[in-house]
Amino acid sequence: MNYSYVASGENNRIIKGKISAPNEGAAADALDSSGYRILSLKEITPFFSAGKLSSRFSAINPTELIMFSRQLALLIESGTDAVTSLELLQAQITNRPLKKVLASVISDVRAGSSLSEAMGKYPHAFSQIYHRLIAVGERTGNLETVLRRAADYLQRTAATQKSVKNALLYPFIVLIVAIAVIGVLVAFVLPTFANMYSAFDVQLPAATRALLTLTEWTQQYGLWLLLALLAIVVAGFVYSRTPPGKYQWSKISLSLPKVGRINLLNELSRCCRNIVLLYSSGLPLPEIMTLLIRGTKNKVMEKALTEVQQSMIAGAGLSAPMAKNKVFLPLMVQMTAVGEETGNLDSTLTTVAESYEAEADDKTKTMVSLITPAMTIFIGVVVGFIALALVSAMYSIYGQTGI
């Protein structure tokens, strides 16, 4: 496998390059032996790959992973060894992808691998942060404590994502129904009325003529319009999978009116939660920043975190580099500075995360409360215009023909 890396060498000089290795652990060991401190290490995968496709269709429900973490913590705390604990959990887990992964993890642990190394081979099941926490727990002897922290973090993240999905579900359903209703009217109802009106040699109202013209145009060019829209969507999707496209999409997602602020707050709160989780588990800040960079999917945030990490390695601390980047909001910068000065970075960033999560939740609910009536008004206007055009045409026919 090929991996791209960003590392610091002698005199904290930043080095970028590529390396080939059987797995990520081997790549990291090779860079460490060369005297490099790894800042970022990612597998280079083609646009379409069997691994990416299989990981999408073998996704593991977060609830299963939360329960697995809590039960594993309980078994280890009771004195059961890791292999026996994993075998007990594998026997009762119903999620097939997770069951299959655990079988491989058990096999690797029996062969002499540590639990964190075995989990690290399955990033679609255990994230970078998750298996790195397991490594910390193994090293410190507090594996059950770390597992409970990881479970709490996963549960909080899942609850946040679920609340956002639930809030957007109703507007999405309304939009789909509106499109379906308008599509049926334009494709089936209006052509019938158009044929009936054409049988009368009368002057139709302006609204009716406009509606019939739009209907005729849609029948002639609707398929081509649909194909053009589909081509644009496909081209946009393909571009969004390229490095420049990913960065531009990330930039747009953070700068959209209303939605951009919510996305930024969610990204920052997730960043704060990750720092708290890793810092309280005993990881040093440089390694924490590396995991944050690997864990984020937003390329703007990834770039900002990389710049902060590089400045931090050069001795600038954490809050000072954050203050130079507009991605990090003032509250996070100020509370990070307070945490650095007092040594309570986990407590101050927990406060920031809670504040940002509350603000994001409030703004999401406000946005949804505005979207729903706006969509209802839009649907009412469209359907009302169609009804007005049809009724006025009927009255016009009656008046001109004397029927």
Examine the domain organization and report whether 254 and 139 are in the same domain. no
Examine the domain organization and report whether 289 and 255 are in the same domain. yes
CATH of the domain at 392: 1.20.81.30
Examine the domain organization and report whether 139 and 190 are in the same domain. no
Domain that holds residue 86: 60-155
The H or E element spanning position 19 is strand 14-20
Give the max Cα distance, the chain: 96
Sheet holding 37-43, edge to edge: 14-20, 2-8, 37-43
Examine the domain organization and report whether 167 and 148 are in the same domain. no
Examine the domain organization and report whether 81 and 123 are in the same domain. yes
Residue whose C-alpha is closest to residue 332's, from 309, 311, 353, 304: 353
Q: What integer pLDDT is reported at residue 53 of this predicted model? A: 43
Residue whose C-alpha is closest to residue 282's, from 146, 151, 150, 154: 146
49 domain-assigned: no
Examine the domain organization and report whether 121 and 247 are in the same domain. no
Per-residue pLDDT of the chain (403 residues; tens, 9 = 90+): 677 777 777 666 777 778 877 666 667 767 777 777 776 677 665 544 444 444 444 567 888 889 999 999 999 988 888 889 999 998 888 888 888 899 999 998 898 888 888 888 888 888 888 888 888 888 888 889 889 988 888 888 888 778 777 777 777 887 788 788 777 877 777 777 777 777 776 777 888 888 888 878 877 887 888 899 999 999 998 988 888 888 998 999 888 888 889 889 999 998 999 899 888 888 888 888 888 888 888 899 999 999 998 888 888 889 999 999 999 999 999 999 999 999 899 899 999 999 998 998 898 888 888 887 888 888 888 888 888 888 888 777 777 765 5
Examine the domain organization and report whether 289 and 364 are in the same domain. yes
Examine the domain organization and report whether 384 and 301 are in the same domain. yes
55 domain-assigned: no
Examine the domain organization and report whether 201 and 347 are in the same domain. yes
Cα(first)–Cα(last) distance of the chain, in Å? 80
pTM of the model: 0.73
Examine the domain organization and report whether 327 and 363 are in the same domain. yes
280 domain-assigned: yes
Alpha carbon separation from 155 to 67, 158, 232, 268, 272 (Å, rounded)? 10, 5, 38, 18, 16
Give the separation between CA 215 and CA 212, rounded to whole angstroms: 5
Examine the domain organization and report whether 287 and 207 are in the same domain. yes
